[in-house]
Amino acid sequence: MESYVRLNNKLAATITILLLLATMGTVNCRGEPEETAEIQIATVERGDLVVTVTADGNLVMPREVKLKFGTPGTVKEAYVEEGQKVKAGALLAKLDDTAQQLALKSAQYNVELALNELVEKIHPALMGYPGLYPDTSAALRVEQAQEELRKAEEFLKQSQYLEAAAELRLAQHDLEASYKIFNVPQIQKSLYSSADFLGTLVAPIENYPDVSRAIERLEQDIDRLAEIQRQLGQGDYQQAQAELAVAQDKLQQTYQLVKSLSGRIRVSQRIGECCWQLMSQGYAVDAATGLMPVPYPDTSTALDWLRQVEQSLQEIQACKQSDSCDALEMSTLLRMAQHGIDMSQDILSNNELIFRSGVNLKALRAYNLNIQLAENELRNAKEELMKTEILAPFDGTVVDVGVKENDQLSAFDYSAKTAIHLVDTSTVKMDGMVDEIDIFNIKEGQEAIITIDAMPEQEFTGKVTFISPFGTQLAGVVEFPITISLDPSEIELKGGLTATADIIVEKHENVLLIPNRAIKGSPGDYWVEVVIDEETLATEKRPVELGAQNEDFTEVLSGLSEGEKVLID
């Protein structure tokens, strides 16, 4: 156990020791002078007593990762080089993702088929889809992008930058997919038409201004996410979080617009009698398109209301048979039952047109299941797409790049080949060993002062973060492994350096201190020689009560006063 002392009223770290040389003036029988006797006197002073335990070990960098691609393929590009410092979420390397993009489009197509199955079961005469309306999945992809942005914001708040960057890239993929659904040549041609009056060509007339606006908003949202990704790559996390909040608000507006333009079952105004029937039921005709929206079947909700009605009727019956049921309570129960009947009837009447066209509850549930399966396939396809990219999981330094452009990663070696070796040099720990005699003095959270053999003049600070419950025996000596996390430092350290830590197990401030060599006696009967006359070296024996002790000094609890002097052997 090692230690050191700081005195409040001295610049030096040790107690002032007065040296008195007493030369004896006598000679022996041979006429030779006797040897000089050296007597040391120490002054009792106040200071800080620090008790430490020594641990020897080496520096390690625990945040080290060998990044690999999650799928076989051809390396498209490695964006970093050895020694380059990167921020969490930065794109480090990428595979050719042509196959994954095709799989994603296929999964998207399956979602579209599943969504359209229900529509196809309705009689064609009842459908009022404009031939060039965007597909129903356009709104679905924007909705998924919203959820991914929400997750990205949560990850940013938790400083999980890799996960945030991944969600941002998925959101960008979804918005690009929705944009491509809108921005196709057929829809572009239908957006504008030109009129020729008396042979004069006038400016184009915009047929579908909302569609044009949706395309423009999607472009802006995609650019906004690209800028946030750039900020993440540069480590500007606060700005990225602020921009992400704005992006979510803007995307919500985009979603409302896209949703209004795609994925709606509509009934044409041109089909005559059925429309008058619908209008009599309260449906309004869209002035711009001449179409009336019809909701999807909602039988489950209607059945829930009917169950509530049944329960209300049972309560009415029980109330009727009870002597305590008054007219007011009976009236309330009747109103609740009537309300449930009205709600159920309204839901069922809204679905009547679709059910007459051949869609029953069993088929509806099957269609919904197909939609869920297709959406799950789409999520899996997006995950496979993300496996073609390697993102930095934390801030660090690239120490090795194991791939280059056009490298082929087969199904046998892609998971074993390290593409990027990344190390966080700012997070440093010391793995050390403590003797079994001192291990019970060590506690997690204790402060430590670390010195490195290669830099003996420099001190680093840290805290104990781990104490192994198992010791190791070597050459008859039992030692216990411990871990000390070093505090951040401006000096860039290196893994493997030999280090020594002084772990502070006790600290007593402004206490009376005397050198250990001044103490005499045994436990329970300690005493010191107090100097009462420095000229004659007259002393008196005085018992003392002692406190904490290290290798050099001991705390005096009672028996001495500040300024008194004691003899040192």
pLDDT in tens, 21-65: 333 344 444 445 454 456 788 999 999 998 899 999 999 988 888
**Model pLDDT, residue 439:** 93
**In this predicted model, what pLDDT tens digit does every residue of 103-159 receive, in sequence order?**
877 877 777 677 666 555 544 433 333 344 445 667 778 888 898 899 999 988 888
In this model, does residue 312 exceed pLDDT 90? no
Average pLDDT of the chain, as a whole number = 76
In this model, does residue 11 exceed pLDDT 70? no
The CATH code belonging to domain 91-386 is 1.20.120.660
**Model pLDDT, residue 384:** 86
Rg (CA), the chain: 41
In this model, does residue 365 exceed pLDDT 60? yes
In this model, does residue 15 exceed pLDDT 90? no
Cβ atoms 86, 396 nearer than 8 A: yes
Q: Which residue has the higher pLDDT, 301 or 90?
A: 90
Long-range CB contact pairs, 33-37, < 8 A, 24+: none
Cβ atoms 244, 156 nearer than 8 A: yes
Percentage of the chain surpassing pLDDT 70? 69
**In this predicted model, what pLDDT tens digit does every residue of 173-211 receive, in sequence order?**
888 888 887 776 555 555 555 444 344 444 444 445 677
**Model pLDDT, residue 39:** 76
Q: How confident is the model at residue 421 (pLDDT cuts 50, 70, 90)?
A: very high
**Model pLDDT, residue 308:** 67
Residue with tokens 């045994």: 522
In this model, does residue 339 exceed pLDDT 50? yes
Q: Which residue has the higher pLDDT, 337 or 388?
A: 388
In this model, does residue 360 exceed pLDDT 60? no
**Model pLDDT, residue 358:** 54
Quickly count: other Cβ atoms within 10 Å of residue 121's Cβ. 15
Q: How confident is the model at residue 326 (pLDDT cuts 50, 70, 90)?
A: low
**Model pLDDT, residue 57:** 94
Long-range CB contact pairs, 477-481, < 8 A, 24+: 477/435, 478/435, 478/436, 479/433, 479/434, 479/435, 479/436, 480/433, 480/434, 480/436, 480/439, 481/431, 481/432, 481/433
Residue with tokens 């070796």: 421
Residues across the chain: 569
**Cα dist. 219→176, 223, 251 in Å?**
8, 6, 11
Question: Pick from 147, 209, 222: which is nearest to 178 by CA?
Answer: 222
**Model pLDDT, residue 327:** 64
Q: What is the mean pLDDT of residues 376-394?
A: 85
Q: How far apart are CA 446 and CA 461, in angstroms?
A: 11
**Cα dist. 90→251, 391, 394, 396, 520 in Å?**
24, 5, 9, 11, 67
In this model, does residue 310 exceed pLDDT 60? yes
Q: How confident is the model at residue 454 (pLDDT cuts 50, 70, 90)?
A: very high
In this model, does residue 552 exceed pLDDT 50? yes
**Model pLDDT, residue 406:** 92
In this model, does residue 500 exceed pLDDT 80? yes
Long-range CB contact pairs, 215-220, < 8 A, 24+: 215/179, 215/182, 215/183, 217/250, 217/253, 217/254, 217/257, 218/142, 218/175, 218/178, 218/179, 218/182, 218/254, 218/258, 219/179, 220/250
Cβ atoms 219, 258 nearer than 8 A: no
**Model pLDDT, residue 526:** 93
**Model pLDDT, residue 380:** 83
510: alpha, beta or left? (left if phi > 0; alpha if psi -120 to 50): left
- Which CATH architecture is the domain 2-60+427-568 placed in? Beta Barrel (2.40)
**∠ at Cα 99 (94, 100), nearest 5°?**
65
In this model, does residue 20 exceed pLDDT 80? no
**Cα dist. 370→110, 117, 234, 361 in Å?**
9, 9, 42, 14
Q: What is the mean pLDDT of residues 518-545?
A: 89
What is the residue extent of each domain of the chain? 2-60+427-568, 68-82+392-423, 91-386
Quickly count: other Cβ atoms within 10 Å of residue 477's Cβ. 11
In this model, does residue 486 exceed pLDDT 80? yes
**Model pLDDT, residue 483:** 96
Q: What is the mean pLDDT of residues 540-544?
A: 92
**Model pLDDT, residue 288:** 40
In this model, does residue 361 exceed pLDDT 70? no
Q: How far apart are CA 54 and CA 482, in angstroms?
A: 11
Q: Which residue has the higher pLDDT, 361 or 229?
A: 229
Q: What is the mean pLDDT of residues 522-527?
A: 90
**Model pLDDT, residue 66:** 92
**Model pLDDT, residue 348:** 60
**Model pLDDT, residue 2:** 46
Percentage of the chain surpassing pLDDT 90? 30
Question: Pick from 113, 118, 117, 112: which is nearest to 295 by CA?
Answer: 118
